[in-house]
Amino acid sequence: MSSDLEAPSEPFGLFDEWFALAKTKETNDPNAMALATVDAQALPNVRMVLMKEITPAGVVFYTNTESQKGNEIAQNPQAAVVFHWKSLQRQVRFRGPLARVSDAEADAYFVSRARDSRIGAWASQQSRPLEDRFALEKAVAREALRFGLGEVPRPPHWTGFRLTPLYIEFWQDKPFRLHERLVFRRESPETGFRTERLYP
């Protein structure tokens, strides 16, 4: 059985090809990815977030640093993400260390968000107990009043993280569960990737 998943010398061009196709096929959020971190007891947590940038430097997402994921990242700045495009029967996994994006990058992305989303970043005490929905609505109204018609700056507790991959796996569905798995590994961000195929 021949393979139709070719093995390029680097993984990012292949990801760009798959992602471009996903943007034409996926109904909602082709940039959605499951993000896994671990807590202080090494218990994993996973949730869906949106990828906002991907380059050879890594995969970027944004969050409140005082949230559960933010606290877990502070304790153990490593993570795994997976993109699953059901309509394409494909998925891509990334694993590696995390680092904050620069303030300039975070500011530039924050200002591109809808104004209501920027106000929400100030109003929401992400991951902490909420007495009722009305308390959140009051917090949003309070912050909207505070900023009025002026600019809404980025909160100091809101920023982005870049996952620099040491492991990337491309998975493609095949009949009879004889799927294709193509892996790129490297020892550090400074070294080159080596490739291998895995049994399904």
What is the sign, positive or negative, of the torsion defined by CA atoms of 163, 44, 87, 10?
positive
Reply yes or no on whether 177 is catalytic.
yes
DSSP state of 151: -
SS3 label, residue 15? helix
CB 160 within 8 A of CB 150: no
Q: What is the CA radius of gyration of the chain?
A: 19
Catalytic residue among 93, 133, 177, 197: 177
CB 37 within 8 A of CB 73: yes
Q: Catalytic residues, which ones?
A: 177
